[in-house]
Amino acid sequence: MPEPIRQLPLFKDDPPPKDATRASSRTGPVLPAVVEPEIRDLAARLSARVHLGTSSWSFPGWTGLVYASRHGKPESEQRLAREGLAAYAKHPLFGSVSLDRTFYAPLDAKEYARYAAAVPETFRFVVKAPAAITDPFKRLAGSGQVSGENPTFLDAATAASVCVAPAVGGLGTKLGAIVFQFPPLGRALLADLPRLVARLVAFVAALPRPRTDGLPHGPAIALEIRDPALVCEAFAAGLVDTCAMPCLAAHARMPPLGEQAEVWRIDRFPLPSPLVVRWNLHAGHDYEGAKQEYFPFDRLVEEDLQTRDSLARLVHTQARSGRTVLVTINNKAEGSAPWSVRRLAEAIARQE
| Residue 22 in domain | no
| Residue 199 in domain | yes
Specify the range with the lowest mean pLDDT, choosing from 13-27, 250-264, 293-307, 335-349.
Answer: 13-27
DSSP H helical ranges for the chain: 18-27, 37-45, 77-83, 85-89, 109-116, 131-134, 156-159, 165-171, 187-190, 193-206, 233-241, 257-264, 287-294, 305-320, 331-334, 337-349
The count of domains in the chain is 1
Q: What is the C-alpha to C-alpha distance for residues 159 and 176, in angstroms, rounded to an integer?
A: 17
Judged against a pLDDT cut of 80, whether residue 187 lies above it is answered with: yes
| Residue 16 in domain | no
Region 173-199: what's the mean pLDDT? 96
- Backbone phi, then psi, for 277, in 5-degree steps? -130, 135
At 246, which CATH number?
3.20.20.410
Nearest to 223 by CA among 188, 174, 181, 161: 181
Count other Cβ atoms within 10 Å, centred on residue 139: 16
| Residue 19 in domain | no
Residue-level pLDDT at 310 = 97
For the chain, what is the largest distance between any 2 Cα atoms, rounded to a whole number of angstroms? 59
Q: What is the C-alpha to C-alpha distance for residues 111 and 106, in angstroms, rounded to an integer?
A: 10
More confident call, 17 vs 92: 92
pTM confidence score: 0.91
Residue-level pLDDT at 51 = 98
Average pLDDT, the chain: 91
Contact assessment for residue 53 and residue 352, using Cβ atoms and an 8 Å cutoff? no
pLDDT digits (tens, 9 = 90+) for 234-277: 999 999 999 999 999 999 999 999 999 999 999 999 999 999 99
- Expressed as residue numbers, the domain containing 318 is 28-349
Residue-level pLDDT at 179 = 98
| Residue 4 in domain | no
Region 175-181: what's the mean pLDDT? 97
pLDDT bin (cut points 50, 70, 90) of residue 143 is low
Residue-level pLDDT at 1 = 36
Judged against a pLDDT cut of 50, whether residue 3 lies above it is answered with: no
Residue-level pLDDT at 11 = 30
Secondary structure of residue 291 in the 3-state scheme:
helix
Report percent pLDDT > 90 for the chain: 85
Residue-level pLDDT at 297 = 98
pLDDT digits (tens, 9 = 90+) for 18-38: 444 444 445 789 999 999 999
Say how far residue 13 (Cα) sits from the centre of its chain.
Answer: 16
Contact assessment for residue 69 and residue 63, using Cβ atoms and an 8 Å cutoff? yes
Residue-level pLDDT at 23 = 44
Residue-level pLDDT at 52 = 98
| Residue 127 in domain | yes
| Residue 63 in domain | yes
Residue-level pLDDT at 146 = 77
Secondary structure of residue 14 in the 3-state scheme:
coil
| Residue 10 in domain | no
Specify the range with the lowest mean pLDDT, choosing from 14-18, 151-155, 199-203, 340-344.
Answer: 14-18
Region 15-19: what's the mean pLDDT? 41
